[in-house]
């Protein structure tokens, strides 16, 4: 459900190869019958792009915690049960790792019934823990932060460890592609600091043209990341004073050449920025887990939440190269990458607690 989950799965698969383990990556939505997975993906995509209030309502009803009974994702996830157990029987894996909350509901349900015979770990890739990630049938939870691990521990008797996020190693090292991006930005707008505006893989953002205009008027070079949203790309290409990009393959280089990231989801793009040492400012977050994740990141001191345009400009003004706030933010972000989630799954190390 979005490129962030795919990116985490791909990185875990890459790491599996370094341990001599053969990975098999499966999209749980493709295991759902009757085309339900495709329908869910399209509905979610349309909601976050065009009707965010719809998703906000669904998030409040199904995902946010609270007193009293709440709907469970098990009935939907359970529809994929036969296909997953058939796949496990055929591939004979040593473990199953979920990186999407619907998958976590499915594996926990099957483990509780005794139908999934191999251990099930959940890599909980959100800063904010919502209830659809949680099922007592899973064997272990791997969390981004100690706070998230404690939150899981309060809700379940299942062990929860803090591994930090997973990103490809290119984000944690000097990026050779940064020089090329710097040259491009210098040619497009000499003397202007490039600020990335992330809309995720689906190009979901609130008033991106307005934010770009604000940044341009303040002397920055707004760089809009439209993902795979061709309509957004075409529309934003008419915004004066901005660089507008579609899908970018060299994100380490782009981040290495940029001044800051303006983020609206606290998802994988924000995590990659933390790894690259690029300051993150949350602004106009997406509803539901996006807004909660952005607030949680800011509360941990990993980013700053800018409630309006003046606050955004103020936050950016305090991040010059060589400044103490920029250095402190980068150090806190990189300290998050503390362990190897795959090693915890495989039992190759005890892993951090």
pLDDT above 50 (res 351): no
For residue 71, the model assigns a pLDDT of 59
Mean pLDDT along residues 269-280: 96
CA torsion angle 78 45 267 7 (round to 10): 70
E-strand stretches of the chain: 96-98, 120-124, 140-143, 160-162, 194-198, 221-225, 243-245, 260-263, 280-283, 304-306
Taking Cα atoms as reference points, which of 62, 128, 138, 130 lies closest to residue 106? Answer: 138
CA torsion angle 171 176 182 185 (round to 10): -70
For residue 104, the model assigns a pLDDT of 94
Q: Dig out the tokens for 156 from the structure.
A: 């379940």
**Pair 227, 244: CB distance under 8 Å:** no
Distance CA(97)–CA(10), nearest Å, equals 12
**Pair 265, 198: CB distance under 8 Å:** yes
Domain residue ranges in the chain: 3-167+338-346, 170-335
Distance CA(145)–CA(195), nearest Å, equals 27
For residue 172, the model assigns a pLDDT of 93
For residue 26, the model assigns a pLDDT of 94
pLDDT in tens, 133-154: 999 999 999 999 999 999 999 9
Contacts (Cβ under 8 Å, ≥6 apart) of 262: 195, 196, 197, 198, 211, 215, 281, 282, 283, 312
Where residue 97 falls (left for φ over 0; alpha for ψ -120 to 50; beta otherwise) is beta
pLDDT in tens, 291-320: 999 999 999 999 999 999 999 999 999 998
Range 170-335 has CATH code 3.40.50.2000: yes
Q: Dig out the tokens for 106 from the structure.
A: 């499915």
For residue 64, the model assigns a pLDDT of 67
């Amino acid at each position: 459900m979005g490129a962030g989950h795919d990116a985490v799965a791909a990185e875990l698969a890459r790491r599996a190869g370094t341990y001599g383990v053969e990975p098999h990556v499966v999209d749980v939505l493709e295991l759902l019958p009757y085309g339900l997975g495709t329908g869910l993906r399209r509905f979610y995509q349309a909601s976050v792009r065009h009707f965010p209030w719809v998703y906000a309502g669904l998030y409040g009803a199904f995902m946010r915690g609270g007193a009293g009974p709440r709907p469970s994702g098990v009935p939907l996830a359970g529809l994929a049960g036969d296909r997953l157990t058939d796949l496990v029987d055929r591939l004979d894996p040593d473990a199953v790792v979920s990186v999407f909350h619907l998958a976590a509901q499915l594996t926990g349900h099957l483990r509780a019934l005794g139908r999934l015979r191999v251990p099930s770990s959940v890599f909980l890739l959100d800063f904010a823990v919502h209830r659809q990630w949680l099922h007592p049938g899973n064997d272990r939870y791997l969390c981004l932060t100690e706070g998230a691990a404690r939150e899981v521990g309060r809700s379940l008797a299942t062990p929860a460890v803090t591994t930090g996020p997973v990103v490809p190693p290119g984000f944690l090292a000097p990026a050779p592609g940064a020089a090329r991006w710097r040259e491009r930005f210098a040619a497009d707008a000499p003397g202007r600091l490039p600020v990335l505006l992330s809309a995720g893989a689906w190009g979901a953002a609130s008033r991106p043209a307005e934010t770009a205009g604000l940044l341009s008027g303040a002397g920055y070079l707004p760089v809009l990341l439209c993902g795979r949203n061709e309509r957004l790309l075409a529309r934003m290409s008419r915004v004066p004073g901005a660089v507008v990009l579609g899908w970018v393959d060299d994100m380490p280089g782009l981040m290495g050449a940029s001044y800051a990231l303006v983020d609206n989801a606290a998802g994988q793009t924000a995590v990659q920025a933390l790894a690259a040492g690029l300051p993150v400012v949350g602004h106009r977050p997406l509803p539901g887990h996006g807004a909660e994740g952005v607030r949680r990141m800011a509360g941990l001191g990993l980013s700053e939440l800018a409630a309006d345009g003046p606050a955004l400009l103020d936050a950016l003004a305090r991040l010059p190269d060589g400044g103490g706030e920029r250095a402190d933010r980068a150090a806190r972000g990189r300290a998050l990458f503390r362990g190897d989630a795959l090693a915890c799954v495989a039992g190759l190390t005890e892993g951090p607690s």
